[in-house]
Amino acid sequence: MSLGVGAVGTVRAQDAAPEDVIVLEDITVKARRKTETLNQSPVAVSVVTDEEIGTGKTDHLLDIAKTAPNVMGSDANGMSFVIRGVGSQSVQGLASEVGVGLFQDEVYMGRPDAAPVFLNDLRQTEIVRGGQSSIYGRNTIGGAVNLVSREPGDVQSAEAELSYGSNGYNRIKAALDMPFSDGRWRTRTVLSRTDRPDGITNLATGEDDLSLKALSGRFTLMGDLTDRTQLKFTLDAETVEDGGRGGWAPLRQALRHESDLDHPAHRDDERGGVMLRLDHDFDAFSFTSITALRALSQDMLLDGDFASGSSPVFGTTPLQQGRVVDQHQLTQEFRISSYAQGDLARGELSWSTGLFFMDETYDGISFYEMAGVPSDQTSRNTLKADTRSYSVFGNVSYGLTDALTLHAGGRYTYEKKSGDVAITSPSGTFFYGMPMSGRADMSFSNFSPEVGFDYDLSDSSMVYGRISTGFKAGGVAQFFDASGNVNVYEPETTLTFEAGIKSRLFDDRMGLELTAFHTKWDDMHANVYISDFQRVTANASTAVSQGVEMSLEAALSPDLNLRATYGYLDAKFDDFRYSFYSAGSGTTQTVDYSGNPIPLAPRHSASLSLLYERQLANGLTFDASGTYSYRDQYTFDPVAGYYQPATHLLDATIGISGDDWRVSLWARNLLDEEYLSNYFLFSGYEYGIAAPGRTVGFTVSKVW
C-alpha cells in the first residue's frame, strides 16, 4: 500500500551511479477529483495499487484497510469502513447509511452491502482520510473510499488467473480486451469465480458455516465520440452465496472457530448496476456527466437461538431469524472543472463545481420466529423508505504566491425522506411486540463549508491545513422506539481541524507524511438496545475524535522497499445519555455511554511492509513481500462491554514472473491469529463470529 509518499518500486536513471539515482516512483490519484501525485495532494490518502490486488496480497474489499492508519473495515452489518472513528455506527439491517462514502469509478454506493465483495480488476483503491464536503456529493463526513477499475487496453489481449489455497479456497479470473474501429473504441470483459471457506466448523453438521461462493462479471465500453468527447459505459454484477455471517456462537466457542447450530443458514446477495459517463472538453473548462443505476437484493436466514440443543436464553425452543432487503438507486452527477491542476503559480486559479442527485428506494424485512414456521407467517419488522437527495458542491484554489495556495469550498445539501415502519406477527408469537405501524416524513438542509491552504517549503516538501465541516442527514430507523413511536433521528454534523506535512527526503529515496486532526461531532448516530429484539438509533449529544498519523516509505536499495504506518486515535463519546420506558420493569431507564470509546476505533494502529524485487537471468523477475498489521484493542458497540484484544496479522507473498506470466505462493494471517469479526450481547450472554484464520495458497496468471 502506498500512503501518500510513493508507489511500489524504485526508479534508476541510466546514466548515473546507482547509489545516486534510486528514487521512489510517483503515483497519481484523483482523491480530489483531479489528477495529481500523492505528494501534491493536500489531503491524507492511502493507496493500494494494481500490483497488490488479486495476487494473494489483497483481494477482499476490507483488506485495503489493513495498512491504512486509523482505518478499520467492518462486515458487521454490511461492508463498511470506519476512518478516525467516523463511519457507520448505526447500521440497522442495512437501513442506515454510511458515514464514509464508498465510490466505484466515482459512482456513489448508497448502502453498506452495495459494493462488490471482491476486488476484481481494479487499477487501484484510494482511502481519503477525513471529511470531504467540497468534493463529493454525499455522506463523506469521515472520508471516502474510491475503487478505480482498470480500463480497456489499446491492443487485443486475454488474461487468465487461477488461485488455489488451503481448506478448499479457489479463485478463477479471466479478462479480454477487444479494441475496434481502429482503436477508437475499446471493450474489456472480466469474469471471476471465488470459493472461500472461513474455517468455522459447525459441530452439529461438521461443515464450514461461512463458506462463500461468489460469481462476478464486468463489461466496459469506452471510446471517442469526437476529438473532444469521450464516452464510457459499464455493466457489472455480482452474486454471493454464503452462511450469512451465520457463525454466531458463544464467545469462547467462536474464538475456537466453532459453532453449534442446527438451523441451516444462508445468505444470497445479488448486486450490480450500469453506468454511463460522458466527458467533454470545452475551450475554458471540462464537463463530466455520470449517470448510474444500481440495485441490491439480499435474502438471509440464520439460526435464531445460536445452539443445536439447549440455549441459555431460549431453552430447547429452536428459532430462526433472517433479513430480506431490496434496494434501488438512481444517481446523477454533473461536474465542470478548470484545466489548471497540480501546483498553482502566483495568480493562477483552479476550480470545480457540481450537482448531485440521488433517488433511492429501500424495502427491508427483519424476522424472528420459531423454526419451521413458514416465511410468510413469521414475526417481522419492516421498513419501506424513500430518499431524495440534492446537493450543490464546489471548491476553488488560488495561488496567492508561487508557494502558497489557498482553498475554499463547500456543499449545500437538501434531502427528503419518508419511511413506513410496521410490526406484524401472523404466527401470534409477537417476538417484536404487538402489531403496530407508523409513518414519518422529513426533510433536511445543510451547508458545509471548508477552507484550507498548502505551502511548498521546497520542491519536495509541503505543509497543509484545513478546517472542514460535515453533514449526514437524519432518517427513519427500522425499529420503533420504547414508546411505540417511529424511531426518527436527527442529522449528525462534524467540525474538523487538520494539518499535515508531506516530504520527499534523501534525494527522493524516502517519503514521509505526518497528519494531526481533531474532529468534534454533534448528534452522532449510534445504536441503543432497549430490549433483546429492539434497538433504536439515537443521537449522541457530542463525541470527539483526535489523533495523529504517520506514513513512511523508503527505497533501501534498488531491490528493496520499506513501508511503515502508525496511527494514534482518541475517539470517545463526550456526552451520550438515552432515556426510555422499560415495559419489563415498568420504569424509565437511562443508559449513559458518556466517556466510552467509539466502536471500531482502536487507540493504536500500525503496519510494517518489506517489498523485494530483483531481476534474474533470462528475463525473469523474483519478488517477495511481507506485511505486518497491528490494531490495538477496540469495542464493537457503545456499551463497550467487550474489548477485542489487540490483533497481530502477518501476510506474505513470494513469486517469480516472466514477460507474460507469474507464479506466486502466498499466506494470509500467517500467524493464525484468533480474533472476532463481530460481537453482540444478548440477554447477558456474549456471542461472536470469528475472523478467518490462516490461509495459504498459490496463484498462476498468464497474459496472451
Question: For residues 103 and 146, what is the distance between their CA atoms, to the nearest angstrom?
Answer: 5
Q: Is residue 4 situated within a structural domain?
A: no
Residue 76: its pLDDT value, please? 64
Q: Is residue 17 situated within a structural domain?
A: yes
Q: What secondary structure letter does DSSP report for 28?
A: E
List the Cα angle 549/553/554 in 5-degree steps: 145
Question: For residues 513 and 2, what is the distance between their CA atoms, to the nearest angstrom?
Answer: 11
Q: Is residue 2 situated within a structural domain?
A: no
Dihedral sign, Cα of residue 525, residue 60, residue 63, residue 679: positive
Q: Is residue 448 situated within a structural domain?
A: yes
Q: Is residue 261 situated within a structural domain?
A: yes
Per the CB < 8 A criterion, the answer to whether 614 and 622 are in contact is: yes
Question: For residues 139 and 125, what is the distance between their CA atoms, to the nearest angstrom?
Answer: 18
Question: For residues 246 and 267, what is the distance between their CA atoms, to the nearest angstrom?
Answer: 9
Answer whether residue 525 shows pLDDT above 90. no
**Residue range 263-318, pLDDT digits in tens:** 767 788 999 999 999 999 999 999 999 999 999 998 888 887 777 776 776 666 77
- The bridge status of strand 212-224 relative to strand 229-242 is antiparallel
**Residue range 3-40, pLDDT digits in tens:** 444 334 555 444 444 455 688 888 888 888 888 888 88
391-394 contacts at long range (C-beta below 8 A, 24 or more positions apart): 391/137, 391/138, 391/355, 391/356, 391/357, 392/353, 392/354, 392/355, 392/356, 393/133, 393/134, 393/135, 393/136, 393/137, 393/353, 393/354, 393/356, 394/134, 394/351, 394/352, 394/353, 394/354
φ and ψ of 349, to 5 deg = -125, 135
Residue 375: which H helix or E strand, with range? none
Residue 10: its pLDDT value, please? 53
Residue 678: its pLDDT value, please? 85
**Residue range 215-270, pLDDT digits in tens:** 999 999 999 999 999 999 999 999 988 765 556 788 888 888 888 877 767 788 99
Per the CB < 8 A criterion, the answer to whether 138 and 444 are in contact is: no
Question: For residues 478 and 435, what is the distance between their CA atoms, to the nearest angstrom?
Answer: 14
Residues 6+ apart with CB under 8 A from 227: none
Residue 503: its pLDDT value, please? 94
* C-alpha cell at position 211: 463458506
Q: What type of residue sits at position 332?
A: Q
Least confident among 428-437, 669-678, 695-704: 428-437
φ and ψ of 98, to 5 deg = -85, 155
**Residue range 535-565, pLDDT digits in tens:** 788 888 899 999 999 999 999 999 999 999 9
Residues in the chain: 704
Residue with the three cell numbers 460535515:
470
Nearest to 358 by CA among 410, 291, 421: 291
Q: What is the CATH number of the domain that holds 229?
A: 2.40.170.20
Q: Determine the average pLDDT of the residues in 356-371.
A: 90
For residues 666 and 301, the model is more confident at: 666
Q: What is the pTM of this model?
A: 0.91
Answer whether residue 522 shows pLDDT above 50. yes
Per the CB < 8 A criterion, the answer to whether 191 and 206 are in contact is: no
Question: For residues 225 and 289, what is the distance between their CA atoms, to the nearest angstrom?
Answer: 14
**Residue range 58-99, pLDDT digits in tens:** 677 888 889 999 999 877 666 778 999 988 655 444 446 778
Band of residue 372 on the pLDDT scale cut at 50, 70, 90: confident
Question: For residues 343 and 682, what is the distance between their CA atoms, to the nearest angstrom?
Answer: 55
Residue 5: its pLDDT value, please? 40
**Residue range 390-422, pLDDT digits in tens:** 999 999 999 999 999 999 999 999 999 999 999
Band of residue 431 on the pLDDT scale cut at 50, 70, 90: confident
Q: Is residue 3 situated within a structural domain?
A: no
Domains held by the chain: number: 1
151-157 contacts at long range (C-beta below 8 A, 24 or more positions apart): 151/123, 151/186, 151/188, 151/220, 151/222, 152/177, 152/178, 152/179, 152/186, 152/187, 152/188, 152/220, 152/221, 152/222, 153/177, 153/179, 153/186, 153/188, 154/179, 154/183, 154/186, 155/179, 157/703, 157/704
Residue 57: its pLDDT value, please? 61
Q: Determine the average pLDDT of the residues in 643-658.
A: 94
For residues 340 and 339, the model is more confident at: 339
Whole-number percent of the chain with pLDDT over 70: 91
Residue with the three cell numbers 471540462:
286
C-beta neighbour count of 101 within 10 angstroms: 25
Torsion-angle region of residue 312: left (phi > 0), alpha (psi -120 to 50) or beta?
alpha
Q: What is the DSSP string of 154-208?
A: SS-EEEEEEEEEGGG-EEEEEEEEEEETTTTEEEEEEEEEEEE----EETTTSSB
Q: Is residue 18 situated within a structural domain?
A: yes
* C-alpha cell at position 549: 498519523
Question: For residues 377 and 202, what is the distance between their CA atoms, to the nearest angstrom?
Answer: 28
Whole-number percent of the chain with pLDDT over 90: 53
C-beta neighbour count of 666 within 10 angstroms: 22
Per the CB < 8 A criterion, the answer to whether 501 and 543 are in contact is: no
Question: For residues 418 and 331, what is the distance between their CA atoms, to the nearest angstrom?
Answer: 18
Positions of E strands within 460-576 = 461-472, 475-480, 486-489, 492-505, 510-531, 534-555, 560-575
Question: For residues 109 and 97, what is the distance between their CA atoms, to the nearest angstrom?
Answer: 10
Domain of residue 103, residue span: 10-703
Nearest to 559 by CA among 22, 181, 118, 166: 22
Residues 6+ apart with CB under 8 A from 3: 45, 46, 47, 67, 68, 69, 513, 551, 553, 563, 565
